């Protein structure tokens, strides 16, 4: 399968209009582990309808355009695609219930060379459906391992954030449930890799893995509770690179460094000495 650059850059995405409810917002928060302590008022803010707030990373499951990369016309071998990195910028907090409109587009494809794969940069803009007011801009990188050597540009490549070399200021242990992937997939991503043991083994894993975007959200929880007073509006931007999968039931150990409004982070699964997120960075500050 061969990528055609111009075809991807002009892929005919349609706007996705989606209405979500307070129940959806609470379910998302539960799916990333909030409510683990049911009497913690900071967690209850996201899982109980009284004065409900929306956890910021819920926007990752809104406006999903479908499995467009699996279209044979894309030229992408989806069986060899892994999620490389994610970054987000919030223009305002999500409302507990709303109708949004999402616009997806491919912004660049970088050819790493024959046998080295390709990087596919995709952007999703989410706006208020009625007013057009921007809510969040999301950019993800897909590593298409089997699609290098198509004759595309060799750059620019997004540089990873470098975490400080000193010891972290905080380390936060974030347990996950054994059924975490089975819960999280009900938000939007029904990929059987996260549910079917046979599919996971065929993909080279001993058992189903946790969604990378769930791991990302768990790290966001660690950032927000340690440095953002668990106030959704205090999180302005977030980015990280995915370096290894998490298996449901494992504990994610998040290392954090604070320098003013800048918070660097990375995450490990200590039992396997596996670094699962790297190059993490957040901007935390009170929002006007």
Is 209 assigned a catalytic role? Answer: yes
Q: DSSP states of 8-62 as a string?
A: HHT-----EEEEE-HHHHHHHHHHTTTTSSTT-HHHHHHHSSTT----GGGGGGS
The residue length of the chain stands at 288
Catalytic position from the list 3, 209, 252, 284: 209
Judge residue 182's burial from the number of C-beta atoms within 10 Å of its C-beta, 0-12 exposed, 13-18 middle, 19 or more buried: middle
115 flagged as catalytic? no
- Say which of 100, 194, 221, 228 is annotated catalytic: 194
CA distances from 3 to 75, 103, 151, 245 (A): 4, 22, 9, 27
Distances from the Cα of 258 to the Cαs of 54, 154, 218, 220, in angstroms?
A: 24, 34, 18, 14
CA 146 distance to own-chain centroid: 22
Which residues partner with 123 through β-bridges?
105, 139
Catalytic-labelled residue, pool 75, 117, 148, 212 = 212
Which of the following is catalytic: 100, 189, 221, 252? Answer: 189
**Catalytic positions, please?**
189, 194, 209, 212
């Amino acid at each position: 399968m061969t990528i055609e650059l111009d075809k991807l850059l002009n892929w005919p995405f349609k706007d996705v209009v989606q209405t979500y409810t307070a129940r959806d917002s609470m379910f998302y928060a539960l799916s990333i582990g909030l409510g683990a302590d049911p009497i913690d008022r900071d967690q209850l803010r996201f899982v109980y309808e009284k004065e409900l707030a929306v956890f910021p990373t819920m926007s990752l499951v809104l406006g999903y355009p479908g499995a467009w990369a699996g279209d044979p016309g894309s030229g992408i071998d989806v069986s060899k695609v892994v999620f490389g990195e994610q970054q987000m910028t919030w223009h305002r907090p999500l409302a507990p219930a709303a109708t949004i409109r999402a616009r997806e587009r491919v912004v660049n494809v970088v050819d790493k060379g024959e046998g080295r794969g390709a990087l596919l940069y995709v952007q999703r803009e989410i706006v208020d459906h009625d007013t057009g007011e921007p809510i969040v801009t999301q950019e993800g990188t897909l590593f298409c391992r089997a699609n290098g050597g198509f004759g595309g540009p060799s750059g620019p490549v997004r540089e990873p954030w470098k975490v400080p070399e000193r010891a972290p200021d905080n380390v936060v242990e974030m347990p996950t449930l054994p059924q975490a992937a089975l819960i999280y997939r009900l938000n939007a991503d029904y990929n059987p890799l996260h549910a079917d043991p046979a599919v996971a083994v065929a993909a080279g894993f001993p058992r189903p893995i946790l969604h990378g975007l769930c791991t990302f959200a768990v790290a966001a929880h660690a950032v927000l509770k340690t440095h953002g007073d668990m106030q959704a509006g205090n999180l302005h931007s977030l980015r990280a690179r995915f370096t290894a999968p998490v298996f449901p039931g494992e504990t994610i150990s998040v290392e954090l460094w604070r320098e003013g409004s800048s918070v660097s982070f990375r995450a490990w699964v200590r039992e396997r000495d596996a670094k699962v997120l790297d190059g993490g960075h957040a901007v935390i500050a009170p929002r006007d």
